[in-house]
């Protein structure tokens, strides 16, 4: 193929079509099961949170005004890219069609970008601050940061391997979380999230009719004939969490706000740098194609998620 601006544009259109096919191809994604997507129109977006979930009260006397700006949390957008290059000779020798599957894989990678962000976010939740100034998964979240005498609550549980009694203990703890007004929040843990190493154990807890006695990480589970925990939550296995094989998570994803946030500033776009007169082509004989995107991930309400691990 002769290298002309018209031919290069036509070639880009072909690659862009392959990219779009990869971007829209059906894939097993998980991010939208645990995160709320929020648009962003600026360099960063600040979220105002309440330390409780809203509920109605009997109207006696004056209205009680709930301030939603008691806490704030800012997510700064970041730039993301994926860049590949095509040798000039591949175009001249008409072997450029070999790049089509590469462009399609770039589209598939762009589709999984939110998954990539979410997996990393969940993994660092124990060491990264959220809106109340504590790590997202922590043992001392204040019920009200302005009234320390109200005490603290935790959503991080150590030395708790995934066995039925521990699953129920974390579930019960979440259901008893209170807001700054002292009222129970009504958290409904409905999603158990595990790495691949804990999939079998999670399936037993959530789907088996009967559970036999078992031992795990030094804890012995007392056997019971009937599995009363069957159907208490859905199961989500996230392969990207495999680096922490003993950690498991319980989430409430039934709310308008989910435990995590995917903030989108710019959807992934297929771009080109293919000026035949450019320095890159002149010096290296390379035409460059890539994907650009902007956005980030951040934490929502801590009391909608809990982490437990067999580690001490």
Mean pLDDT, range 73-96, rounded to an integer: 84
Query: At 68, is the pLDDT very low, low, confident or very high (cuts 50, 70, 90)?
Result: low
Residue 67 has pLDDT above 80, yes or no: no
Distances (CA, A) of 214 to 79, 198, 228, 269: 47, 14, 16, 50
Name the least confident of 37-51, 118-132, 161-175: 37-51
- Answer yes or no: is 249 within a domain: yes
pLDDT in tens, 120-152: 999 999 999 999 999 999 999 998 887 888 899
Q: What is the pLDDT of residue 250?
A: 99
Structural domain range at position 210:
5-23+72-309
Residue 82 has pLDDT above 60, yes or no: yes
| Dihedral sign (CA 185, 190, 192, 193) | negative
**Checking phi first, is residue 200 left (phi over 0); if not, alpha (psi -120 to 50) or beta?**
alpha
Q: What is the pLDDT of residue 13?
A: 86
- Answer yes or no: is 305 within a domain: yes
- Answer yes or no: is 110 within a domain: yes
- Answer yes or no: is 161 within a domain: yes
Q: What total of structural domains would you count in the chain? A: 1
- Answer yes or no: is 50 within a domain: no
Number of H helices, E strands in the chain: 8, 15
Find out whether 286 and 85 touch, Cβ atoms under 8 Å: yes
Residue 19 has pLDDT above 70, yes or no: yes
- Answer yes or no: is 36 within a domain: no
Cα gap 87→78, rounded to integer Å: 30
Comparison of pLDDT for 94 and 262, the residue scoring more: 262
- Answer yes or no: is 40 within a domain: no
- Answer yes or no: is 197 within a domain: yes
Name the least confident of 21-25, 99-103, 170-174: 99-103
Cα gap 76→165, rounded to integer Å: 40
- Phi and psi (nearest 5°) for 192? -100, 125
Q: Which element (helix H / strand E) includes 34?
A: helix 31-34
């Amino acid at each position: 193929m002769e290298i002309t601006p018209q031919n290069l544009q036509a070639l880009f259109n072909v690659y862009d079509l392959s990219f779009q096919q990869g971007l829209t191809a059906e894939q097993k994604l998980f991010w939208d099961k645990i995160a709320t997507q929020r648009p962003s129109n600026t360099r960063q977006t600040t979220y105002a949170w309440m330390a409780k979930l809203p509920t109605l009260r009997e109207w006696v006397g004056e209205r009680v005004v709930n301030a939603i700006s008691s806490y704030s949390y800012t997510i700064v957008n970041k730039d993301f890219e994926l860049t590949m290059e095509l040798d000039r000779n591949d175009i001249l020798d008409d072997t450029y069609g070999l790049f089509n599957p590469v462009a399609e894989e770039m589209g598939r990678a762009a589709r999984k970008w939110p998954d990539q962000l979410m997996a990393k976010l969940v993994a660092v939740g124990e060491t990264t601050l959220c809106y109340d100034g504590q790590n997202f998964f922590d043992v001392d979240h204040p019920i009200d940061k302005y009234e320390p005498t109200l005490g603290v609550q935790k959503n991080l549980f150590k030395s708790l391997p995934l066995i039925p009694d521990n699953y129920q203990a974390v579930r019960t703890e979440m259901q008893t979380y209170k807001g700054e007004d002292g009222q129970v929040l009504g958290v409904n843990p409905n999603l158990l999230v595990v790495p691949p190493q804990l999939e079998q154990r999670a399936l037993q807890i959530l789907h088996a009719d009967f559970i036999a006695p078992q031992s795990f990480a030094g804890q012995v589970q007392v056997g019971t004939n009937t599995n009363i925990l069957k159907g208490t939550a859905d199961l989500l296995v996230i392969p990207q969490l495999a680096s922490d094989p003993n950690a498991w998570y319980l989430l409430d994803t039934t709310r308008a706000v989910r435990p995590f946030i995917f903030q989108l500033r710019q959807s992934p776009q297929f771009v080109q740098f293919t000026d035949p007169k450019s320095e890159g082509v002149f010096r290296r004989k390379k035409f460059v194609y890539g994907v650009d995107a902007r956005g980030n991930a951040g934490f929502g309400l801590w009391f909608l998620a809990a982490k437990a691990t067999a580690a001490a």
